[in-house]
Structure 1
Amino acid sequence: MDRIFISGLRVNAIIGCYPAERERRQGVTIDVELETDLAEAARSDELADTVNYAEIEERIQALAAGSSFKLIEALAGAVGRLVLEYDAVRRAKVRIDKPGAAQHARSVAVELEFQREK
């Protein structure tokens, strides 16, 4: 199976459990791996034959901007459900990296995997 990667997507979101985290948007980084069949797109060179990753990027940005999650796990779940709305996406991995979430670590990250129901 072929893959599309969206790496290092910076979004700003209200995210966190503590009152100070809920007062302003924070930057998080999202990586998405989409499992799909790219054979036809490789032959045709047509956007219609692939997953439009520019559209997915815009939708993830809009999702983050309009959201107010407490947990990065919940944001990752929402992103995973969003990408599975595309029929061509069979499986996906979503990784969310939140800088400054832990006192002595550069960042904290979660990675969730999603699969289309058969």
Structure 2
Amino acid sequence: MAEILDAITVRDLRVPCIIGTTESERSRRQEVCLSFTLHLDLRGACASDRLEGTVDYGQLAARVTALLGDSSFQLLEALAQAVAYLCLQDPRVARVEVEARKPRAVPLAAYAGVRLVRQRP
């Protein structure tokens, strides 16, 4: 299979969720900041200029927000993987990159974060 160079990107989606390893962290929703890039063939969408030929990133962002709102995670790693697997539910997506950041997680740092890549076998 040829390398897929096309991509759809959502940057800095802010989602409140239960995240953390301590009781005080898990006692309230905290904002996480997500960015994800979907790798897929967009030639059909380019030719047709129709939403049906691509991934609706607004709908995907809503699904990610709902997933995190209905779940709780101890680690950013687990949260990012859940987002990646949600993105891969669309069979057109061959690969996804997810970055999850937790603002103010480390004193004197803007954020702590993880980045992972998942793809179809």
Q: Give the TM-score taking structure 1 as reference length.
A: 0.97
Q: Structure 1 unaligned runs (5+)? A: none
> What is the Cα-based RMSD across aligned positions, in Å?
0.7
Q: Give the TM-score taking structure 2 as reference length.
A: 0.94
Q: Structure 2 unaligned runs (5+)? A: none
Quote how far apart the aligned CAs of 1:100 are.
1.0
Q: For residue 63 of structure 2, what is the aligned residue in structure 1? A: 59
Q: For residue 70 of structure 1, what is the aligned residue in structure 2? A: 74
Structure 1 vs Structure 2: percent identity of aligned residues? 43
Paired residue type of 2:58: A
Quote how far apart the aligned CAs of 1:51 are.
1.0
Query: Secondary structure of 2:67's match?
Result: helix
Query: Secondary structure of 1:87's match?
Result: coil
Query: Secondary structure of 1:28's match?
Result: strand
Corresponding pairs, count: 117
Paired residue type of 1:48: E
- Find 1:105's aligned residue among 94, 105, 109: 109
Query: Secondary structure of 2:113's match?
Result: strand
- Find 1:8's aligned residue among 12, 22, 26: 12
Quote how far apart the aligned CAs of 1:104 are.
2.3
Regions of 4+ moved over 2 Å: none
